[in-house]
Amino acid sequence: MMEVLNLGDYCYTPSPHGTMHVPRSRPQGQKWSLDITEAVNLRRREHRGAVDFFNQVNLLYGTLTEFCKASTCPTMSAGSKYEYRWADGITIKKPIEVSAPKYVEYLMDWIEAQLDDESIFPQKLDAPFPPNFQDVVKTISKRLFRVYAHIYHSHFQKIVSLKEEAHLNTCFKHFVLFMWEFRLIDKGELAPLYELVESILQC
């Protein structure tokens, strides 16, 4: 099962260039080479981040389940401009319109299945990561962002009344900084919370 999250692990200084992806300076006379240890460490940090952020969103959304119902949130939206439809590409290929709670249920089940799949997220230290590893982490990140976007747009007042505002903001800030450092989310995806994301990255 998932491990308990540790927020302290994810305090990064955002870098506009994504520091983990900038090649180190090349010693004179040597060709570029991929440092395999660095590459594996990068994967392990992405792996760890995916697990922790999944747990955080799961806990946050869990406090809203009695308020986020099919009757109150008939579609998975982020404000009036953005609406998300569900498809996992396997059992549901054509995107379907579902309520927000159903979407989040599909999404969390899908992410948990990915995280539990040892061919994608190997548990053994010496097991290799698959070639599509970062693509999977990117899809997980994109989908977790949508839950944050829905919470901020549709349930922020409830979050305030539950006194969870500071916790939500802290979790989202760590999430954004991690996504930015590892370049896990396309800028266009961030549009529903653009101003908030900008304010985090400019801190």
Q: Find where tokens 């396309």 sit.
A: 186
Tell me how far, at minimum, the Cβ of 101 lies from Zn ion, in Å.
7
Q: Which is nearer to Zn ion, 72 or 132 (CB)?
A: 72
The piece of 69-77, 128-136, 164-172, 180-188 that touches Zn ion (CB under 5 A) is 69-77
- Region of 32 please: left (phi>0), alpha (psi -120 to 50) or beta: beta
Backbone angles phi and psi of 191, in degrees to 5? -50, -45
The piece of 18-26, 70-78, 104-112, 115-123 that touches Zn ion (CB under 5 A) is 70-78
Write the interaction track for Zn ion spanning residues 126-165; mark x where CB under 5 A is met and - where it is not.
----------------------------x-----------
Residues facing 76 on adjacent strands: 84
Amino acid at residue number 186 = D
Q: What is the number of other CB atoms lying within 10 angstroms of the CB of residue 98?
A: 19
Angle at 123 (CA atoms; ends 118, 129), nearest 5 degrees: 65
How many amino acids of this chain bind Zn ion (CB under 5 A)? 4
Tell me how far, at minimum, the Cβ of 137 lies from Zn ion, in Å.
25
Write the interaction track for Zn ion spanning residues 81-120; mark x where CB under 5 A is met and - where it is not.
-------------------x--------------------
Tell me how far, at minimum, the Cβ of 77 lies from Zn ion, in Å.
8
**Which residues are CB-contacts of 104 (< 8 A; sequence separation ≥ 6)?**
61, 68, 76, 147, 150
Tell me how far, at minimum, the Cβ of 123 lies from Zn ion, in Å.
34
84 and 146 in contact (C-beta within 8 Å)? yes
Measured CA to CA, the distance from residue 141 to residue 119 in angstroms comes to: 19
Site for Zn ion in 15-54 (CB under 5 A): none
Residue 68 binding Zn ion, by CB under 5 A = yes
Q: Which is nearer to Zn ion, 111 or 151 (CB)?
A: 151
Binding site for Zn ion (CB under 5 A): 68, 73, 100, 154
